[in-house]
Amino acid sequence: MSAFEHAGTPEGVGDTRPPALATDALRGARITVVGAGAFGGWTALWLLRAGAQVTLVDAWGAGHARSSSGDETRVIRATYGPSRTYTQWTDAAFGEWRALEALTGRTLLTACGALWMYAHDDDAYARAATPLLAEVGRTLEVLTPDEVRRRFPQFSVDDVRNAYFEHGAGFLRARLGCQVVAGQFVREGGQVVQAQVTPGRVARGRMAAVRTQDGTTLEADQFVFACGPWLGRMFPRLIGNAVLPTRQEVFYFGTPAGDPQFEPERCPVWLHSTATGLSFGIPGNEGRGMKVGDDVRGPRIDPTRASRAPSARALAWARAEIAARIPALAHAPVAEARTCVYENSPDGHLILDRHPAAENAWIAGGGSGHGYKLGPLVGRHLAARIAGQSAGIEAFTIARLASMTPA
Ligand SMILES: Cc1cc2nc3c(=O)[nH]c(=O)nc-3n(C[C@H](O)[C@H](O)[C@H](O)COP(=O)(O)OP(=O)(O)OC[C@H]3O[C@@H](n4cnc5c(N)ncnc54)[C@H](O)[C@@H]3O)c2cc1C
DSSP string, 149-184: HHH-TTS--TT-SEEEEETT-EEEEHHHHHHHHHHH
Sequence letter at residue 217: T
3-state helix, strand and coil shares in percent for the chain, rounded to the nearest 5: 30, 25, 45
- SS3 sequence, 256-293? CCCCHHHCCCCCCEEEEECCCCEEEEECCHHHCCEEEE
Classified as helix, coil or strand, 351 is strand
The C-alpha atoms of residue 38 and residue 325 are separated, in whole angstroms, by 30
pLDDT at position 316 over 60 = yes
Residue 137 lies inside a defined structural domain of this protein: yes
CATH number of the domain to which 138 belongs: 3.30.9.10
Largest CA distance in the chain: 65
Q: What is the pLDDT of residues 119-172, one digit of tens each?
A: 999 999 999 999 999 999 999 999 999 999 999 999 999 999 999 999 999 999
Arithmetic mean of pLDDT, 168-180: 98
Boundaries of domain holding 170: 30-403
> Would you place residue 405 in the very low, low, confident or very high pLDDT band (cuts 50, 70, 90)?
confident
From the CA of 172, how far away is ligand 1's center (Å)?
Answer: 14
Q: Which of 181, 312, 222, 216 is nearest to 34 (CA)?
A: 222
pLDDT at position 25 over 60 = yes
From the CA of 175, how far away is ligand 1's center (Å)?
Answer: 10
The C-alpha atoms of residue 163 and residue 377 are separated, in whole angstroms, by 29
From the CA of 365, how far away is ligand 1's center (Å)?
Answer: 8
Residue 12 lies inside a defined structural domain of this protein: no
Q: What is the pLDDT of residues 185-232, one digit of tens each?
A: 999 999 999 999 999 999 999 999 999 999 999 999 999 999 999 999
> Would you place residue 295 in the very low, low, confident or very high pLDDT band (cuts 50, 70, 90)?
very high
The set of residues, in sequence order, having a beta carbon less than 8 Å from that of 305 and lying 6+ positions away, is: none
The C-alpha atoms of residue 138 and residue 332 are separated, in whole angstroms, by 35
Q: What is the pLDDT of residues 244-292, one digit of tens each?
A: 999 999 999 999 999 999 999 999 999 999 999 999 999 998 999 999 9
Residue 17 lies inside a defined structural domain of this protein: no
Residue 245 lies inside a defined structural domain of this protein: yes
- For the CA of 368, the nearest atom of ligand 1: 19
pLDDT at position 5 over 70 = no
Classified as helix, coil or strand, 206 is strand
Look at residue 1 in the predicted model and tell me its pLDDT. 45
Cα 150 off chain centre by:
32
Look at residue 17 in the predicted model and tell me its pLDDT. 73
**How many folded domains does the chain comprise?**
1
Residue 9 lies inside a defined structural domain of this protein: no
From the CA of 37, how far away is ligand 1's center (Å)?
Answer: 6
Residue 4 lies inside a defined structural domain of this protein: no
Q: Which of 168, 37, 192, 180 is nearest to 100 (CA)?
A: 180
Q: Spell out the alpha helix ranges (H) of 50-123.
A: 84-104
Residue 38 lies inside a defined structural domain of this protein: yes
Look at residue 96 in the predicted model and tell me its pLDDT. 98
Q: β-strand 222-225 against 361-365: which pairing, if any?
A: parallel
Arithmetic mean of pLDDT, 17-44: 92
> Would you place residue 13 in the very low, low, confident or very high pLDDT band (cuts 50, 70, 90)?
very low
* Mutation choice for ligand 1 from 372, 373, 378, 396, CB with most ligand atoms inside 8 A: 372
Residue 145 lies inside a defined structural domain of this protein: yes
Q: What is the pLDDT of residues 60-72, one digit of tens each?
A: 999 999 999 999 9
Rounded CA Rg of the chain: 21
Please name the residue whose Cα sits nearest to atom 38 of ligand 1. 227
Classified as helix, coil or strand, 246 is strand
